[in-house]
Amino acid sequence: MPLTRPDRERIEMLVAALETEYGPATDSARVEIVRAPGRVNLIGDHTDYNEGFVLPAAIELDTWIAFRRREDGLVRVASRHSREPGSFWIDDLTAEHEAGGDTRQPRENDGGAAAGAAATATVRRSSHWSDYVAGAAWSLREAALPVRGFDGVVDSTIPIGSGLSSSAALEVASALALLGAGRVLAAPSLAALAQRAEVDYVGVNCGIMDQFASAAGREGRALLLDCRSLDTRYVALPFGVRVVVCDTGARRELRSSVYNTRRAECARAVALLAERMPGLCSLRDLDAAWLARHRALLPDNVARRAEHVVSENARVVTTASALETGDLDELGRLFAESHVSLRDLYEVSSPALDTMVEVARAIPGVVAARMTGAGFGGCTVNLVLADAVPALKAAVSREYDRRTGLRGRVYPVAIVDGAGPLAMI
């Protein structure tokens, strides 16, 4: 991707931070930089782990890692946004599901990194941001891919806890750094390895959408993804329509949320319905008529979760068609239905999200608005006519902040290409 002046300034800042953290480079050590974007999901929430359809787009808010490769298996990482660096030895990583917890011990020849490694040694108990880097290293090593240690500095413009996939971007960027910027994996493989890092190492039972969007995004296009087959189709937005993310300022934490409970409820629906439908693998295999016919088999809360997933899958496919034909009225209807379904059937919205959607819908030129992501806080996604973006910003600052006591932020975002190497210096 061509470098802009802000990109070059960011590179200079990262190189300087790398030298400050780890000392000047030797003659043989060159700086490499990789990037991975965040994502916004236009529609299709809580369908990915049900093997359904999603419609995300990679966005310009992204994560960069500047790094120098090491000859040993030590990884040392610092973040421009955290005072706590992390470190670990790749060969010592053990996922909790394999050995009942990570029992890594720092090596004596750590060269000063032992204290950092000890402080972050217990995966999924300490909940350190570098767990995502370590998870990527563990996943790549388990796949028998050649990885080496590095000294690196992470910089991200993705708001943490906003639902824009800061964790997936860090996992994908970390995988690229561990492989080295000169080695590129196919996007589906890179996404699957990053997803395994989050599920099996970090302990968040996520679907593949976030990592896939970060790895496989395409400039100016949303990505219609079949989460079962991983078949993809790129979909252009109507001319003159911008994607605008509105951050509620209400943060969420997946590990302490009801996210895994929702997954369990979906699994229970499949198990109960499979008694009448042998071979049922996931809620992806249901249609609305069949679910209505056998709804009495399910507890009410489980039935409502299933109803959301079945209807949301249909909305994703219809939304892709509406984008391609430029049917703005249909887009508004589909987004509104999705938000109501997530609020009332899946119960993952929040007062802040509902208020942000209400404020946006009152603005002429806002084509569509809905919550996006896992919910419980985070962001809304809006399709907005370009000349209405200033009015939306003003309304959020005026109305949303007054009604909620929170500080909302508005990000008109460009849709960009997926992850890859950025520069070698």
Q: Is residue 374 part of a domain?
A: no
Residue 141 has pLDDT above 90, yes or no: yes
C-alpha 365/C-alpha 394 separation (Å) is 13
pLDDT class of 355 with cuts at 50, 70, 90: very high
Q: Is residue 32 part of a domain?
A: yes
Q: What is the predicted pLDDT for the residue at 189?
A: 96
Q: How many CB atoms are located within 10 Å of the residue 231 CB?
A: 10
pLDDT class of 125 with cuts at 50, 70, 90: very low
Point out the least confidently predicted range of 80-94, 95-109, 122-136, 385-399.
Answer: 95-109
Q: Is 131 a catalytic residue?
A: no
Q: Is residue 140 part of a domain?
A: yes
Backbone angles phi, psi at 191, to 5 degrees: -65, -45
For the stretch 174-205, pLDDT in tens is 999 999 867 778 999 999 999 999 999 998 88
Q: Is residue 76 part of a domain?
A: yes
Identity at 162, one-letter amino acid code: S
Average pLDDT over residues 401-413: 96
Whole domain around residue 116: which residue ranges?
5-232+417-424
Q: What is the predicted pLDDT for the residue at 44?
A: 98
Quickly list H helices, 327-412. Answer: 328-344, 351-361, 389-395, 401-404
C-alpha 157/C-alpha 272 separation (Å) is 43
Q: Which residue has the tokens 């000063």?
A: 112
Residue 107 has pLDDT above 60, yes or no: no
Identity at 316, one-letter amino acid code: V
Strands 241-247 and 409-413: antiparallel
Q: What is the predicted pLDDT for the residue at 117?
A: 28
Q: Is residue 227 part of a domain?
A: yes
C-alpha 279/C-alpha 218 separation (Å) is 36
Q: What is the predicted pLDDT for the residue at 102?
A: 38
Residue 356 has pLDDT above 70, yes or no: yes
Average pLDDT over residues 203-214: 92
For the stretch 333-352, pLDDT in tens is 999 999 999 999 999 999 99
Contacts of 216 (CB under 8 A, 6+ apart): 58, 187, 188, 191, 223, 232, 418
CATH of the domain at 129: 3.30.230.10
Residue 111 has pLDDT above 90, yes or no: no
Residue with the bigger pLDDT between 55 and 103: it is: 55
- pTM for the structure as a whole: 0.89
Q: What is the predicted pLDDT for the residue at 278?
A: 87
Average pLDDT over residues 39-65: 97
Q: What tokens were used for 15?
A: 């190189």
Q: How many CB atoms are located within 10 Å of the residue 69 CB?
A: 18
Q: What is the predicted pLDDT for the residue at 26?
A: 74
pLDDT class of 28 with cuts at 50, 70, 90: low
Average pLDDT over residues 261-282: 94
For the stretch 229-253, pLDDT in tens is 999 999 999 999 999 999 999 876 5
DSSP SS3 for 376: coil
Q: Given 210, 231, 300, 354, which residue is catalytic?
A: 210
C-alpha 99/C-alpha 127 separation (Å) is 18
Q: What is the predicted pLDDT for the residue at 163?
A: 83
DSSP E strands, 70-205: 74-79, 86-89, 150-156
Average pLDDT over residues 104-123: 31
Domain count, the chain: 1
C-alpha 367/C-alpha 240 separation (Å) is 11
C-alpha 231/C-alpha 212 separation (Å) is 11
Average pLDDT over residues 46-62: 97
Tell me the sheet residues that pair with 87: 76
- Let me know: does 373 contact 45? Beta carbons within 8 Å: yes
Q: What tokens were used for 343?
A: 């609020």
Q: Is residue 394 part of a domain?
A: no
Residue 120 has pLDDT above 80, yes or no: no
- Let me know: does 64 contact 18? Beta carbons within 8 Å: no
Q: Is residue 205 part of a domain?
A: yes
- Let me know: does 375 contact 351? Beta carbons within 8 Å: no
Q: Is residue 216 part of a domain?
A: yes
In the chain, count of helices (H) and strands (E)? 14, 13
Backbone angles phi, psi at 80, to 5 degrees: -70, -10
